[in-house]
């Protein structure tokens, strides 16, 4: 079997991520970090000249840099199998997720897509249908579940070490949108523009990460929520802050906090999950540490690539304990898992399941935004979590 394995780097095309973008460069570093994937082509901007310039700075051949995602997908489809891209990575603002993703799937390309998955829930459901129809691989880059210690946290819950889960506190305070921005900050601009971001601002950008992390670690699903969204910076059209009470399907309750006006905070995603026997705590800003406090024995600290890790968590570490890995490596772990699945698929191996955020997670995230916005506008305390 092994001798039939596809023995080459996997070929990635990129939509978006031209000069001045933040997340495109992150995707490129992450995708290529483990030497399993190479960027072979891109439509880096809807402005063809800008796309060309980006391509040049990435040392791509001129003929693989396209002026639009349509052009890229069409032309790549016509290339010989040994040359054309295997998958598309889409790193545009939210309102330009659906178009390229659908076209790529329809054209037989696997897809990597940034979150939140689409502009609205309807698009998300259509996309899911297409993924299901085509059987193509789909990765939604909820970066934070790429961290080894998040996997370790999930394992502790799965193993029942904490006992039945009772409480989940997940918070995601950032401060970078604390002031009115001028237009020079491209990142800030589209994220606060409803025509590009969709109906939620802060909740879409980071609240979805928080919800996904909570459900990923706990294995629970939110059943109802009570949200209160705020816009603290004058003139802003979308929420820049919100507090949400959560109810989970096993009877556990929780709180989700997300803010982009928590002045002074960087990217302080943090989660705590408490069961009958103890609680775990993980901070994204010190991601190589997982703290577990027990009711009846001393607190334990698990460390990335340290003693006592699950096989899964250890498999996502590249360096010996004490050589910190961070955000880019967590991101790279998602691409690594995706590459493994893709290589298996291309090699005709049987599908043994994969463990990265999927189109279903994307639908769930978009449903969260609908529910959270509805709840915020409602006088009822609890809004059911409908998908």
Q: Does 255 bind a second copy (CB under 8 A)?
A: yes
Cα-only R_g, the chain: 21
The residue from 329, 333, 365, 369 that contacts a second copy (CB under 8 A) is 329
- Only one of the segments 80-88, 123-131, 175-183, 215-223 lies at the binding site for a second copy (rule: CB under 8 A); that segment is 175-183
Furthest C-alpha separation in the chain: 64
Rounded Cα distance between 51 and 292, Å, is 47
Angle at which helix 208-218 crosses helix 148-158, to 10 degrees, equals 40
Q: Does 25 bind a second copy (CB under 8 A)?
A: yes
Rounded Cα distance between 107 and 125, Å, is 19
Q: Does 185 bind a second copy (CB under 8 A)?
A: no
Closest to a second copy by CB, 75 vs 166, is 166
**Which residues contact residue 383 at a Cβ distance below 8 angstroms, ignoring those fewer than 6 apart?**
224, 225, 226, 227, 371, 374, 375
Helix residue ranges, H only, 92-184: 98-106, 121-134, 148-158
Instruction: Return the residues of window 267-296 that contact a second copy according to CB under 8 A.
Output: 267-268, 272, 274-279, 284-288, 292-296
- Only one of the segments 27-35, 61-69, 81-89, 206-214 lies at the binding site for a second copy (rule: CB under 8 A); that segment is 27-35
Closest to a second copy by CB, 41 vs 73, is 41
Q: How many residues of this chain bind a second copy (CB under 8 A)?
A: 91
Which x/- pattern over 59-88 shows residues binding a second copy (rule: CB under 8 A)?
A: x-----------------------------
Closest to a second copy by CB, 41 vs 131, is 41
Which x/- pattern over 155-174 shows residues binding a second copy (rule: CB under 8 A)?
A: -------xx--xx-x-x-xx
Q: Does 179 bind a second copy (CB under 8 A)?
A: yes
Q: Does 308 bind a second copy (CB under 8 A)?
A: yes
Q: Does 315 bind a second copy (CB under 8 A)?
A: no
28 in Cβ contact with 17 (< 8 Å): yes
Q: Does 369 bind a second copy (CB under 8 A)?
A: no
Instruction: Give the DSSP H or E segment for 246.
Output: strand 241-248
Of 304, 328, 302, which is closest to residue 316 (Cα–Cα)? 304
Rounded to the nearest whole angstrom, what is the least distance from the CB of residue 173 to a second copy in the complex?
8
37 in Cβ contact with 13 (< 8 Å): no
**Which residues contact residue 153 at a Cβ distance below 8 angstroms, ignoring those fewer than 6 apart?**
217, 271, 273, 280, 282, 290
Q: Does 260 bind a second copy (CB under 8 A)?
A: no
Rounded to the nearest whole angstrom, what is the least distance from the CB of residue 329 to a second copy in the complex?
7
Measured CA to CA in angstroms, residue 111 lies from 60, 68, 97, 341, 387 at distances of: 21, 17, 11, 12, 23
Rounded to the nearest whole angstrom, what is the least distance from the CB of residue 86 to a second copy in the complex?
14
Closest to a second copy by CB, 83 vs 266, is 266
Instruction: Return the residues of window 200-229 that contact a second copy according to CB under 8 A.
Output: 226, 228
Q: Does 58 bind a second copy (CB under 8 A)?
A: yes
Rounded Cα distance between 292 and 99, Å, is 43
């Amino acid at each position: 079997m092994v001798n039939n394995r596809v023995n080459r780097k996997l070929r990635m095309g990129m939509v978006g991520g031209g000069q001045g973008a933040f997340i495109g460069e992150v995707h490129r570093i992450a995708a290529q970090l483990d030497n399993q994937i190479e960027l072979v082509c891109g439509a880096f901007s809807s402005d063809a000249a800008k796309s060309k310039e980006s391509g040049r700075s990435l040392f791509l051949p001129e003929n693989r840099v396209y002026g639009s995602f349509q052009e890229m997908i069409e032309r790549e489809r016509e290339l010989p199998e040994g040359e054309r891209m295997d998958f598309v990575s889409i790193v545009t603002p939210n309102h330009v997720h659906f178009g390229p993703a659908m076209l790529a799937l329809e054209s037989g390309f696997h897809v990597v897509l940034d979150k939140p998955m689409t502009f609205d829930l309807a698009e998300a459901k259509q996309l899911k249908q297409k993924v299901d129809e085509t059987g193509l691989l789909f990765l939604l880059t909820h970066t934070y579940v790429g961290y080894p210690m998040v996997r370790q946290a999930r394992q502790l819950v799965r193993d029942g070490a904490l006992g039945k889960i009772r409480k989940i506190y997940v918070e995601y305070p950032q401060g970078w949108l604390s002031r009115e921005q001028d237009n020079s900050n491209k990142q800030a601009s589209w994220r606060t523009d409803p025509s590009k971001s969709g109906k939620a601002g802060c909740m879409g950008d980071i609240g979805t990460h928080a919800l996904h992390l909570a459900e990923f670690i706990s294995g629970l699903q939110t059943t109802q929520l009570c949200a209160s969204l705020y816009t603290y910076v004058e003139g802003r059209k979308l929420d820049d802050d919100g507090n949400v009470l959560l109810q989970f399907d096993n009877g556990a309750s929780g709180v989700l906090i997300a803010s982009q006006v928590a002045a002074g905070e960087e990217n302080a995603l943090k989660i705590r999950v408490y069961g009958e026997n103890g609680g775990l705590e993980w901070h994204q800003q010190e991601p190589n540490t997982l703290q577990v406090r027990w009711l009846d024995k001393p607190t334990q600290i698990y460390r990335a690539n340290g003693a006592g890790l699950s096989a899964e968590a250890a498999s996502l570490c590249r360096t010996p304990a004490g050589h910190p890995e961070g955000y880019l490596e967590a991101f790279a772990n998602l691409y690594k898992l995706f590459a493994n699945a893709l290589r298996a698929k291309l090699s005709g191996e049987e599908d043994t399941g994969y463990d990265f955020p999927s189109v279903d997670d994307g639908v769930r995230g978009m449903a969260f935004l609908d529910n959270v916005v509805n709840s915020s506008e409602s006088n009822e305390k609890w809004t059911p979590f409908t998908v």
